[in-house]
A and B are shown apart, each in its own frame.
Chain A
Amino acid sequence: MRTFFKCVALAAILLGVACTGGTEGTDSQSASLGEVAKVAIAQRKAERTPAQLPSLTRPLLNSLGAPSLEIIAAKNGRTAYLIPLAERADDGTVVIWRTAAMGQVILRDGVLIGTKGLGRDLASADATPALTAVRGLSDSSGQRVMYFRNDVNGINQMSFACEVRNLGPETIEIVGQKFPTIHLQEDCSAASGQISNHYWIDRRDITVWKSRQWAGPEHGYFDIRLLKK
């Protein structure tokens, strides 16, 4: 009852935030106005307190109990650290990486095949040319198809003609550790533009340590580093 009166008082004062309770959402105008206001306040709060990024060192990574993946969105420079949520054998190895907020990035043998919880997500992808090249450390070509969620609960499809070239060996360094890799470049062209994905793959066990992969028109390129396997 006290909550109820607090609600009334608060609503009366703010006249912008509704109080709602119960399992069932009501569809009244006040409930809708209240929901919009609540989200606005929460988003503003989140903007004011951006997450602090850790400074990466090899000892820090060694002390981690779980594998970790770093993703930097080239479009806005935002960085996220992800841990595996699940791993399964499904035409290679599919790993579902997740952020604290359950944003997800799905990699099949290191090749991006989906995102979740980011908005206008990559719903699924047929990345056969890249997978063939990564698995065989070889040149490859063929069709890539990417499926994106749209704002009307449907899927938009984007098809590419792709060519993957082996650019040769390259030694890369990730937080103080060196890896002997093969650098592959995947050039794809669609009707409305081009993309270039890059993969740095460990010569010894086909691990994709580093990559730059296009996640779609909404999110652009992701710079991905596997910090710990």
Chain B
Amino acid sequence: MLRDIFRKTIFAAALATLGTAGAAQGIDDTPRFRMPVQPSLNLYGSPGLMDVPTAEALPDGQLAVSYSFFGGVSRSAMTFQFSPRISATFRYVGIQNWNSNGFDTYRDRNFDIRFLLRRETLYWPAITVGLQDFAGTGINAAEYVVATRTFDSPLSLPGTLRVTAGLGWGRLGTDGSIGSPLGNVRPSFDPNSKGGTLATDQWFRGPAAPFAGIEWQIDGRWALKAELSTDAYTPETSRGVFTRKSRFNFGAEYQHSPRLRLGAYWMYGAEFGLSVQFQINPAQAVTPLVVAGPRPIQPRPELTTSPDAWSEEWSRSASAPQSIRDALAPALEKEGLSLDQLSVSTNSAELRFINRRYASDAAAIGRAARVMAQQLPASVETFRLVVVENNLALSTIILRRSDLEALEFAPNSADALLAVAGFSEAAPDLPGAIYSADLYPSLAYSIGPYVTPSYFDPDSPIRADAGLSAEFRYRFAPGWLVAGEVQHRLVGNISDSRRFANSRLPKVRTDALRYAQAGDTTLRNLYISKQWKPRADTYARVSAGYLEAMFGGVSAEVLWKPVNSRLALGVEANYVRQRDFEQRLGFADYSAATGHVSAYYEFGGGYHGQLEAGRYLAGDVGGTATVTREFANGWRVGGFFTLTDVSAADFGEGSFDKGILLSIPVSWFIGQPSKRTVSTTIRPIQRDGGARLAVPGRLYEQVRHGHRSGIAADFGRVWE
């Protein structure tokens, strides 16, 4: 998936370049929105020099993906700046010519976390404390406190010099130690440990050593780096992976584009190294979104000069609602919206509509309000707009028509309109409404290529299958959905793996290889579902069928989420049976009753938390905690972990289930309105404990974007 995203990004970046080709480059002192300084990465994928870290934080929300190689050591890393001060890194390392402990090439997964203690000020350097590989088996385990100071035009030289000094423990304390200031005992690295637990007993213990380095960013393109590394590379040099002849490392880096940086290094007086660093930020789209302009709102004539236009006579006609609906529906379709229900009275109208085009519901609401202002008689002053998602009326946004007329060209029009917009619950049904005549039945289908990646097989860290996928979604009545997807594999090597499951639990997820080997043509899912609103703030769903690739059965869910609430609560219950490896219509013997109670909370500023407790697929009981950072354009990066009553020994490698969530909106790449997103979940290792059913159409994701905070966050697009 990552490779997939990377490829797409490169592709889209190429497009963006095409779009701006020929732009005249001149001296320009016009104002611009200041971009935060983007520090370069070290070979571990964190802000740093080569092997040592620096204290700078990445710009808030930045996602950095990097690859580095030297002396047989390769590191692929993904770092996310979760908040202005906290960043987290996930890394996959491979050390060639290990030739011991049963490995030819030693591979491991690491997690790091960094906290910026102090931002750089006039007198103070930036100071960061970091834990590297804090949870794994500890091949790269290190802790550090590091300070970095920036000097512009140092000694009358061009560019910027960054000077870094720090104190390292663990790996970073193995050469040039000054003693053990915080305790002597540090458990040693164990290549065969199961990992996964927090290694609190080793943090900042054992020998510590001072490291230092400089980075000279000569101009916008080139930079030179030098460092004194305190990493003795004991596990590697003792196994003959490479020979360390010096404590000094040197490098040159080239910023190819704002997103791509390349580096070449001379490491430890013995080895050449290289790195590729790729940094993107959700707030900087690859292609800025372009939406064709709307028709402006035509203000109603003055009541005093045109009293006839304001006549309320029309509302006495029994056919008025139908004729208004027939005028609204085609005008809405032109804007990518579908009329669902309409109720009109003399002074107010409620429009329930489906947003088929815009990632931002606020944009859809703005377009719908324009259509209403264009079509409705002058006496209708109150517009009630309800976005409907698969039969779920999400919320009612109340706008006064005179506000729309007055504010369209006013300064700061988006904030001004938000200030006078009302948000309230939407009743399950609209009494006295007339319905759209042609919403049901509806069929949607899609046929195209698919790529399924599989990561972290020690024999071949990236495997993938590719082929054709065909899917359909058929709606025959409000809230009802019949959907299915068939895949046919044309090429791929996932089934070539020889690593069969060794799980002590029911093999609810670790039989993926057997599924991959069983056949080329598979039924991914085929199910029927119905969803509805029992009450204004409550949502419900039932589904049955082949719900996902490995399980089929029945699923039911209820969600409570008031429109203006940060908190949502949900309950989900499922009874499922494992599917045959062939993934046709048959089932295997294993069945499970699984379900959860969930609490969702929006902390504000794009931070979301989710707690779930319940019974998982393998029958284990426990809870899952998820934290995500989200952006109004649909970007989402997060992490989760699950702890259940399965012991670390029974769980196997990794000790407990955990992973990273990543969603990127398609419109961010293509610059055109689209509701699609590309999502992936990366687990360092997939085991059977803490495994959840992947039931399609969970309610919270369908609902919350249409509630107050989701719409308010998007309001910059309401007039677009």
Contact = CB atoms under 8 A, between A and B. Distances in A.
Interface of A: 4, 7-8, 11-12, 15-36, 39-40, 43-44, 47, 74-77, 85-86, 88, 90-91, 94, 96, 98, 101-104, 106, 108, 113-114, 116-121, 123-126, 145, 147-158, 160, 190-195, 214, 217-218, 220-221
A191 B670 CA distance: 32
Given A12-B468, A149-B720, A193 B31 contact: yes
Nearest to A117: B293
A151 B280 CA distance: 13
A30 B524 CA distance: 13
A86 B295 contact: yes
9 contacts: A30-B450, A36-B669, A43-B18, A91-B409, A124-B412, A151-B282, A160-B31, A192-B31, A193-B29
Given A22-B473, A24-B444, A86 B449 contact: no
A25 B412 contact: no
Contacts of A24: 356, 442, 444, 473, 475
Contacts of A104: 293
Contacts of A88: 296, 298-299
Contact of A33 (B449, B674, B717): B449
A96 B409 CA distance: 10
Interface string B675-692: 111100000000000000
Contacts of B293: 85, 96, 98, 102-104, 116-117
B716 A149 contact: yes
A23 B719 CA distance: 24
B12 interface: yes
Nearest to A156: B33
Contacts of A158: 31, 33
A33 B672 contact: no
B285 A151 contact: yes
Interface stretch (B20-28, B120-128, B652-660): B20-28
Interface in B613-627: none
B409 A113 contact: yes
B676 A27 contact: yes
A35 B33 CA distance: 31
Interface of B: 8, 11-12, 15, 18-20, 22-24, 28-34, 282-285, 287-296, 298-299, 338, 356, 360, 362, 408-415, 442-451, 466, 468-471, 473, 475, 485, 490, 631-633, 635, 666, 668-672, 674-678, 713-717, 719-720
Contact of A152 (B15, B410, B633): B633
B676 A193 contact: no
Given A94-B409, A98-B293, A124-B412, A151 B288 contact: yes
Contacts of B672: 39
Given A124-B719, A154-B715, 16 more contacts: A8-B468, A11-B447, A23-B444, A24-B475, A25-B356, A28-B485, A31-B448, A32-B666, A43-B19, A76-B20, A102-B292, A119-B289, A119-B671, A126-B412, A147-B411, A217-B33
Contacts of A47: 18-19
A1 to B, nearest CB: 12
Given A152-B633, A217-B30, A116 B720 contact: yes
Contact of A77 (B22, B288, B356, B414): B22
B717 A11 contact: no
B449 A35 contact: no
Q: Which 9 A-B pairs have the closest CB atoms?
A: A18-B448, A22-B444, A30-B448, A116-B293, A193-B31, A126-B411, A119-B288, A104-B293, A102-B292
Contacts of B631: 152
A34 B446 contact: yes
Contacts of B11: 36, 40
Contact of A153 (B29, B299, B410, B633): B633
Contacts of B473: 22, 24, 26
A30 B30 contact: no
Contacts of A28: 446, 448, 450, 469, 471, 485
B31 A30 contact: no
Contacts of A221: 30
A210 B632 CA distance: 39
User: In the complex, which of the residues B34, B298, B717 has the most CB atoms of chain A within 10 Å of its own CB atom?
Assistant: B717
Nearest to B357: A25
A84 to B, nearest CB: 11
A30 B632 contact: no
User: In the complex, which of the residues A8, A74, A145, A153 has the most CB atoms of chain B within 10 Å of its own CB atom?
Assistant: A153
B413 A7 contact: no
Nearest to A31: B446
A28 B470 CA distance: 10
A117 B289 contact: no
A64 to B, nearest CB: 21
Nearest to A15: B449
User: In the complex, which of the residues A23, A40, A156 has the most CB atoms of chain B within 10 Å of its own CB atom?
Assistant: A23
A190 B296 contact: no
Nearest to A29: B450
A148 to B, nearest CB: 8
A116 B30 contact: no
Given A11-B449, A192-B31, A27 B356 contact: no
A166 B627 CA distance: 58
A43 B362 CA distance: 27
Nearest to A119: B288
A7 B285 CA distance: 31
A24 B715 CA distance: 24
A85 B295 contact: yes
Nearest to A10: B447
A26 B446 contact: yes
A126 B411 CA distance: 5
Contacts of B719: 123-124
B19 A29 contact: no
A153 B714 contact: yes
A194 B30 contact: yes
Nearest to A191: B31
Contact of B283 (A8, A27, A33, A152): A152
B469 A30 contact: yes
A150 B716 contact: yes
A2 B263 CA distance: 53
Contact of B30 (A7, A157, A195): A195
A88 B408 CA distance: 11
Given A31-B448, A33-B448, A153 B413 contact: no
User: In the complex, which of the residues A90, A103, A195 has the most CB atoms of chain B within 10 Å of its own CB atom?
Assistant: A90
Contact of A151 (B31, B283, B295, B445): B283
Contacts of B33: 148, 150, 156, 158, 192, 217
Contact of B290 (A36, A118, A123): A118
Nearest to B475: A24
B375 to A, nearest CB: 16
